[in-house]
Every structure is written in structure tokens, then in C-alpha cells.
Amino acid sequence: MLAQGFVSAAAIAASVLFVLSLGGLSNQEKAKRAVWYGIVGMAVAVLFTAFGPGIGNYWLMIPMVAIGSVVGWHVAKRVAMTEMPQLVAALHSFVGLAAVFVAWNADLERRRVLAAQAMGATAEQFSAFAALVATKAPDELTFLQLEVVFAIFIGAVTFTGSVIAFGKLAGKVDGKPHKLPGGHLLNAGAAALCLLLAVLYLNGAGFWTLLLLAALSFFIGWHLIMGIGGADMPVVVSMLNSYSGWAAAAIGFTLSNDLLIVTGALVGSSGAILSYIMCKAMNRNFVSVILGGFGGTQGPAAEIEGEQVAIDAAGVASALNNADSVVIVPGYGMAVAQAQNAVSELTRKLRAAGKQVRFAIHPVAGRLPGHMNVLLAEAKVPYDIVLEMDEINDDFPKTDVTIVIGSNDIVNPAAQEDPNSPITGMPVLEVWKSSVVFVCKRGQGTGYSGIENPLFYKENTRMFYGDARESIDSLLSLID
């Protein structure tokens, strides 16, 4: 058993490592080292917490940790990079559900301690957590009850919200927004009932209040995320990341675990900041998004004239061979087709031929922040030719060829041209200003978000239909 001093020192060390990890993830070249900071920090946190004072039941804890480690290793080895967004959403749900169970257990322990104290029991006769509860003053017990209410509410919302986000990202749930009759009033009504139940609980009502509170919160999480469309899923994943952090912090307060409080606050605040940044990048109102898309556009979308004109590999290769400057815009379609290595090889051949090749990355490309950057780094694409939207948008009028691989909303001119479009006002990559645009796409559908794209019908756009990896592979032998 480790002394409390060692545990406190380890908590400080782990907190520093977590801060270094978050800071390093903002830079592609430092990201791998940052991940290791996080891994070591978590290992230190788990080890010193498990062997800290007042901890027991190792006969149960060690097998559970071993099983969880094996399952986590197996999942991490099997999940492809394309499935990372839905894996992140699934992991968020675990944190939320854990918060609910810990909060329920904390209240049951509180009730047991109070009943035992009424019969003359002392703090020395209780388990570690129960003894902690037994030494609390009445106002501290009230604060514990507030922690329980918050943990259940935010944890339950995180759980069901993350499950629905997982379903939408994995294609198991329709990506279009769906609300029950009553829409936002249902969410508001459920939230009001949660507040009423919290007041009843704080005034001595039974455990049933916490069960109903969890049930209503589960509904809010489900209905909230069901009401958000596929175009906003990257923001939703980031937002749920923030929710899971606050749920973890609430557990930390309940368990009097300083490290859990710090870690949850780091995750919660960084997720909230990232969500805000992404909302700015999409010209979305942050409050509107977290309320399930409240305040969306009204009126019919503008009609699109023209037709989609197809082109074959020989035509695309001819344009690339004659081009001096090429911009590649990757999207989720590239991830699904696992075409990043073929794209990297195409980039190498074009650069070897003396052509300027760069990548344009929209802040919300893919279904997770930084998704495209990770895929390109995995395929050994040089960091210095991967540019953000603000760095490259002004260069499209001087670009000979732009290749769009599996992107839709982030290159959709309707964001600027159609005031009734669901993405109106969203900053987009202005690829249509290039001399010619080739769009690698499986078919003529509207894609994940269900929003029609006028880019596909413009005179300087040609549709390069087919699987993205096969399409890019077919170009490699035709590049001079």
C-alpha cells in the first residue's frame, strides 16, 4: 500500500503529462510524442491510484483491469483509421455510463452510512469511501448530493448521445436530423422535470428520484443527438468529448479523487474550446448545435441547373500531366476507401515531375477534428504541403487542377450562394475557382449529410466516378 504522499506526487506528475499531451497534439510533428505523454500519464495515474490508501478488493480489481486491457488492445488493433470517429464516440459513452453508476453507488453508500450512524456505528467500521462519507459535515453531504445529481445528468446525456453519435457515424442510424413531435419543447420539459427531481432528492426524497433523473437524462441525450444532422457530426463528437470530461470531473468530486477532477476538467474544457472553434469554422452557433440544430434555415433550397459530366482516368491524367499546380482536397470518402496511400504515391509522382502539389484541409473535413491530417501523415505525405483552409483558399484561382476526393459539404458553393441551404454561411474551400475540378465520387448521391452540391454541376467540374482508391490507382500508370 502506497502512502498518500506518493499518490499525490504521482497525481501531479500525471497531470503535467496530460497537459503536455494536449499541448503536443496541436502540432503534427509532435503528436506521436504527445500520445506517449498521455499513455505514460494514464499508466502512472492508474497504478498509483490502484495501490493508494484505502483501496482494496484486488481480487476483483486486477481481473477487471486485465480484461479491460485485453479488450482495449484487441479493439485498437482491429479498428481501422476510418472507424476512429465512431470508436471515439463509443468510448465517450463508457465514461458517461460509468459516471451514472458511480453516482448511484455513492448515494446508496451515503444512505447506508447515515442508517448505520443512526444505529451507533463509527467511521472506523466503514469501507474507505463510506468512511469518507461518514466524516462529512451536513453541508458537505449536501454538496455530495449535488455532485451525484450533476454526475447522473451529464453522464446519462453523454451515454445515450454518444451511442446515437456512434450509430450515425457508423451508418447504423440515419444521418438526417429527426425529432419527436414537440421537438425542443420535449427536451426543455425533460430538463425541467430533471430539475424538479433534483430538488426533491435534495429535500430527502428516495432513491427513485435518481432513477427517474437518469431515465429522463437518457432521453435528453438520445433526442438531442437524433435532432442533429450529419453535417454537424464533427462538432457533436467534439462536444460529447467535452461532456465526457465533465462527467469524469463529477466522478472525481464524488470520489474525492483530485487527479480525476483535473483530468476531467482538462478534457471538458479542451473539448468545449475545440467545439467552439469548429462551430466558428462552420459558421454555426454553438448553442444552436448543442440544442439539436435549433434555429435552422427556412425555405426551399435553390434549384440546381445543369448535369454532372463524367470523365475517365485518361482524361484526368492528361489534365494532371499538363498542369503546373495541383491541389488535392481529401474527405471522408478517401478514408472509407483507404485511398491515402494511393494519394501519397500520386503526390510523389506529380512532385517528381516538377509540379506543385498541395493539400487543402478544411477544419471539419472527415468526421473527427484532424481526421484527414492523421490519414495523410500515416501515408507519409510531407507536413509542409498540407495546408489549412485559410492558408490556401486564396490560391484556388491560380490553381490548374483541383482533385476532390470524397468531400461534399466542405467544397459546396451553396454555402455562399444559397441563403436557404442548411450550410449557408459556412466557410468552404472555394475549389470551383480552379481552372478545372475533378471530383472522385462513388455515384451521384448527395452523400452522408444529404445536402445537394452545385459544384458537381459546374462547367469546369468533371465527375471521376468510382471507388477512390481504385480511381487514384488507375491514374498512377498514366502520369508521365
Q: Any idea which residues carry the catalytic annotation? A: 409
Query: What gap in Å lies between CA 80 and CA 36, rounded to an integer?
Result: 20
Contacts within 8 Å (CB) and 24+ apart, 87-92: 88/237, 88/241, 88/368, 89/162, 89/163, 89/165, 89/166, 89/169, 89/237, 89/240, 90/162, 90/163, 90/166, 91/244, 92/158, 92/162, 92/165, 92/237, 92/240, 92/241, 92/243, 92/244
Q: Are 123 and 135 in contact (CB under 8 A)?
A: yes
Query: What gap in Å lies between CA 175 and CA 447, rounded to an integer?
Result: 10
Query: What gap in Å lies between CA 282 and CA 236, rounded to an integer?
Result: 12
Helical H segments across 119-137, by residue range: 128-134
The residues pairing with 358 across neighbouring beta strands, listed in sequence order, are 327
CB-neighbour burial class of residue 232 (10 A; exposed 0-12, middle 13-18, buried 19+): buried
Burial annotation 312-351 (CB, 10 A radius, 16+ → b, else e): ebeebbebbeebebbbbbbbbbbbbbbbbbbbbbbbbbbe
